[in-house]
């Protein structure tokens, strides 16, 4: 299987780490317009002496016969790459969000569905053992009906690249970071959403210009419950880790929660006090994607998930920009199990 990587601006490590576990999968080419990142990627074990390097992604697609392309470009420049891959009949593993406008989302969806290629999106947190175990327990009805959910993504700001400081190329912190929090709530609970309200701003970091340093999103669940997402780039420099990710779901019969740098999963019900739940080992993201292409399993992030997550995040951004509650279109397909 011939694989290429276009762009080095995201979770490309999920692909690179998987490639080295698959002996019949080759990384034949990488393209990036960032010379430093193109040089740095050569340190990955997935890059061999046979891997071609390009500054222009169009040239890469012209020169190679490919089965899969990972698209990890700048957010606002992703749509043309996705369209060209679909036109060429190449399966796609895309960075998130899929695109940064609803118009591009409609165009890309039509092209991919028309071409019949497979699409998934790098929602890597689904492959973290604690969140997968929480998903399994929720789907088994361990805490009854999900009623109230909250997710947090808090990061250190660090030194952000120029493309993240411009709304046109970045797209906003809700689609970029909030999409992970949204996905965890939607996927673990199996609940869809009917309405969204949101707020975002840049209070403490004028140097990052258009990029927000905080956002909050409130969603109404289809079952009448609610979900809140908290996103910020305010984690102190001296914090022990780059990020502080949390997920809590309160149900009719109990509460499940993932907390801490070590992703501690705890369960509490009406019959039993809080206790730790041990997660199970999980398959590597790209390994599962390749197995799904071969018909050996279903990949846990479907194309429908990619479209819906991107749509909700773009509608949440609109709600924040315009100061209104946005009604969400009825879903075509429920979250992948």
**Digit-coded pLDDT (tens) for 305-325:** 999 999 999 999 999 999 999
2-117 and 125-282+301-327 have identical folds: no
The per-residue DSSP string of 85-100 comes to HHHTT-EEEE-SSS-S
Which pLDDT value is given to residue 334? 64
> pLDDT > 70: what percent of the chain?
98
Residue given tokens 């809590």 in the structure block: 248
Domain with residues 2-117, CATH architecture: 3-Layer(aba) Sandwich (3.40)
The residue ranges of every structural domain in the chain are 2-117, 125-282+301-327
The CA–CA distances, whole Å, from 13 to 25, 198, 210, 284 equal 15, 31, 27, 11
Which pLDDT value is given to residue 332? 63
The CA–CA distances, whole Å, from 311 to 6, 201, 298, 308 equal 23, 21, 23, 5
Which pLDDT value is given to residue 79? 99
**Mean pLDDT, the chain, as a whole number?**
97
**pLDDT tens string 13-37:** 999 999 999 999 999 999 999 999 9
**pLDDT tens string 40-64:** 999 999 999 999 999 999 999 999 9
The CA–CA distances, whole Å, from 139 to 75, 190, 253, 314, 337 equal 32, 7, 13, 27, 8
Q: 27 and 8 in contact (C-beta within 8 Å)?
A: no
The Cβ of residue 129 has, within 10 Å, a number of other Cβ atoms equal to 14
Who has greater pLDDT, 323 or 261?
323
CATH class of 125-282+301-327: alpha beta
Average of per-residue pLDDT across 125-130 = 97
Reading the block at residue 271, the tokens are 């019959």
**pLDDT tens string 131-148:** 999 999 999 999 999 999
Which pLDDT value is given to residue 260? 87
The Cβ of residue 293 has, within 10 Å, a number of other Cβ atoms equal to 16
Average of per-residue pLDDT across 159-169 = 98
Residue 130 has pLDDT above 70, yes or no: yes
Assign 331 a pLDDT band (cuts: 50, 70, 90): confident
Q: 97 and 172 in contact (C-beta within 8 Å)?
A: no
Average of per-residue pLDDT across 168-191 = 99
Assign 333 a pLDDT band (cuts: 50, 70, 90): low
Assign 261 a pLDDT band (cuts: 50, 70, 90): confident
Average of per-residue pLDDT across 279-288 = 96
Residue 258 has pLDDT above 70, yes or no: yes
């Amino acid at each position: 299987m011939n694989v290429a990587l276009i762009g080095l601006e995201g979770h490309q490590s999920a692909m690179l780490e998987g490639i080295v576990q698959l002996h019949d999968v080759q990384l034949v080419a990488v393209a990036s317009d960032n010379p430093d990142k193109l040089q740095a990627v050569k340190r990955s074990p997935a890059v061999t002496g046979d891997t071609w390097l390009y500054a222009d992604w169009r040239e890469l697609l012209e020169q190679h016969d490919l089965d899969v392309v990972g698209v990890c470009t700048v957010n606002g420049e992703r749509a043309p790459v996705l369209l060209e891959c679909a036109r060429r009949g190449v399966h796609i593993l895309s960075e998130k969000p899929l695109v940064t406008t609803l118009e591009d989302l409609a165009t890309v969806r039509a092209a991919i569905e028309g071409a019949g290629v497979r699409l998934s999106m790098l929602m890597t947190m689904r492959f973290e053992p604690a969140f997968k175990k929480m998903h399994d327990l929720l789907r088994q009805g361990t805490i009854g009906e999900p009623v109230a959910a909250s997710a947090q993504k808090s990061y250190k700001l660090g030194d952000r690249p120029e493309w993240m400081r411009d709304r046109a190329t970045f797209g906003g912190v809700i689609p970029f970071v909030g999409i992970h929090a949204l996905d965890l709530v939607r996927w673990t609970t199996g609940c869809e959403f009917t309405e969204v309200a949101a707020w975002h701003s840049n209070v403490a970091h004028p140097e990052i210009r258009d990029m927000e340093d905080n956002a909050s999103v409130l969603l109404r669940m289809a079952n009448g419950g609610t979900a809140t997402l908290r996103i910020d780039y305010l984690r102190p420099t001296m914090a022990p880790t780059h990020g502080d990710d949390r997920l809590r779901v309160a149900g009719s019969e109990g509460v499940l929660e993932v907390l801490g740098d070590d992703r501690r999963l705890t369960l509490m019900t009406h019959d039993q006090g809080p206790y730790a739940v041990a997660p199970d080992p999980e398959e590597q993201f790209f390994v599962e994607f390749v197995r799904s292409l071969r018909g050996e399993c279903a990949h846990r992030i479907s194309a429908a998930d990619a479209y819906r997550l991107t749509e909700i995040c773009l509608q949440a951004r609109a709600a924040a920009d315009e100061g209104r509650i946005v009604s969400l279109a009825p879903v075509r397909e429920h979250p992948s199990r």
